[in-house]
Amino acid sequence: MNAARAGGVTGVGIDAVEVARIRRLLERLPRAYERLFSAHERAYADGFADPFPRYAARFAAKEAVGKALGIGIIGFVWREIEVLSGGQPRVALHGNVAEVARRLGVTRVELSLSHTAGMAYAVAVAVGDTPGGAAPGGEGKGG
């Protein structure tokens, strides 16, 4: 995170997922592609010979963002958290997730992704305008 742009940290989330788990899910339930990932995310991942590490990283990112916002991993519609690629990954929030972020004073979510052939990792930091870093209502929740 760039210190010059830093505001108050309102929450941090981290997640790790096995690439094989996401591969099995998507092969077993093809409708999950559209349920979990935006058209942009699908186009990005499908541009690689092996798209599954990229899908797994985006899945982990969505879980990490949910944790950073204190809504956990079941409190949102998966496509409402979108990972925009092309250089440093960026997060776009939509719908109810964007509303939660607005209520918390979150102005952006910083994201770091990494993956190997077997594992994908994501760390998300929700950043707001609050200089002290305290989210309204107390500490962020994660899990």
Question: pLDDT (tens digit, 0 to 9) for every residue of the chain, 143 residues total?
Answer: 444 355 699 999 999 999 999 999 999 999 999 999 999 999 999 999 999 999 999 999 999 999 999 998 777 899 999 999 878 999 999 999 999 999 999 999 999 999 999 999 999 999 997 554 444 433 333 33
User: Distance between alpha carbon 111 and the CA centroid of its chain, in Å?
Assistant: 7
The Cα–Cα gap between 53 and 125 comes to 22
- pTM of the full predicted structure? 0.84
Question: Which homologous superfamily is 7-128 in?
Answer: 4'-phosphopantetheinyl transferase domain (3.90.470.20)
Cβ atoms within 10 Å of 58's Cβ, excluding its own: 29
The Cα–Cα gap between 56 and 21 comes to 8
What are the sequence ranges of the domains in the chain? Answer: 7-128
Give the residue from 93, 113, 98, 125 showing the smallest Cα distance to 3: 125
Give the H or E element holding residue 120.
Answer: strand 119-128
